[in-house]
Amino acid sequence: MIGTAAAEVSLAATRGRSWMSDLRAGRHPQWIAYAVAAVGWVVLVGVEIIRLRTTGSPEVMADMHVGHDMTGGMAGMTESGPHTHGVTTHIVSLLAMLAVMTPMVAADARYAALRAPSGYRRRVPGWVLGGWAVGWLPLLIVTAFISLALGKLVETTEFGEAQLLVAATAVAIAWQWTSRKRLSPARCHRTLAPPLPQTQARTACLRYGLGLGNECGISCAPMMMVMMLAGHSVFVVAPLTAVAWYERRRRPHHDPGTVATSLMLAVVGVVAVLLAVVSAS
């Protein structure tokens, strides 16, 4: 009875608080993850708007269009000239794609921050996210170079972009059914209570974020490949991010939702192929 009464008092005390008051009080230190994601979405939407507005202009599309025809990226990596802007857009889009994934570890960062001393609590999410980004980047770079190499394949052979997207989607769906894929989201549910000394806490949070980034990369790399081959189109990135969020919010070690995610990936793959066909026509 005493415990129930205390819980009711605690609940009543929180009902009148707004999210903003909690934010000012430091109860939502993970806000930085959502701010980074918002910037990423603004960049991706901006690139998509520019792409849609410049459709039909061969000169501008030759500069920007790294993704949909995938023929400018490799040239831009090795030559100066008109493709340089396209490679810059490609790199910015890659970083934006990484940014929109940061909310996946917001809960992990909040858990660690709220268990840290108040003196450096607000810094903990930055440490966790920094380690997470470092853990993600190597796999992101490898995936990007693979996508550019596949773009060169499309350029030099009769293998079409639509066929490449079908193959990438099939790989992403097959990956959903592997035990390693099931293990990665489960490991994303690991938590951390940082040590009390700030120096040790920073090291522990960076290491913790690095592990989260590695597992996120292993889990989502096939979906990231589809995003890259689709030219970072918002119409592909947004639903695939939703799939990753759906996986992150479930309990993968008990209920992986493999059929649901596979169906969603198939639908997104169809959208990506249709975009490629329309772009090529």
Cβ neighbours, 10 Å, residue 149: 12
> What digits encode the pLDDT tens for the residues 234-249?
999 999 999 998 888 7
Segments of the chain scoring below 50 in pLDDT: 1-4, 6-14, 25, 57-85
At 171 the pLDDT is 95
Amino acid at 10: S
> Contact 62/82 with Cβ under 8 angstroms?
yes
Give residue 68's pLDDT.
Answer: 44
Residue 147 has a pLDDT of 79
Domain ranges of the chain: 29-280
- Say what the alpha-carbon torsion angle 12, 13, 16, 20 is, to the nearest 10 degrees: -140
- Report the distance separating Cα 19 and Cα 12, nearest Å: 15
pTM: 0.76
Q: Give the pLDDT of residue 223.
A: 92
The torsion region of residue 70 among left (phi > 0), alpha (psi -120 to 50) and beta comes to left
pLDDT for 87 equals 64
Nearest to 70 by CA among 139, 159, 137, 172: 159
Amino acid 160: pLDDT: 78
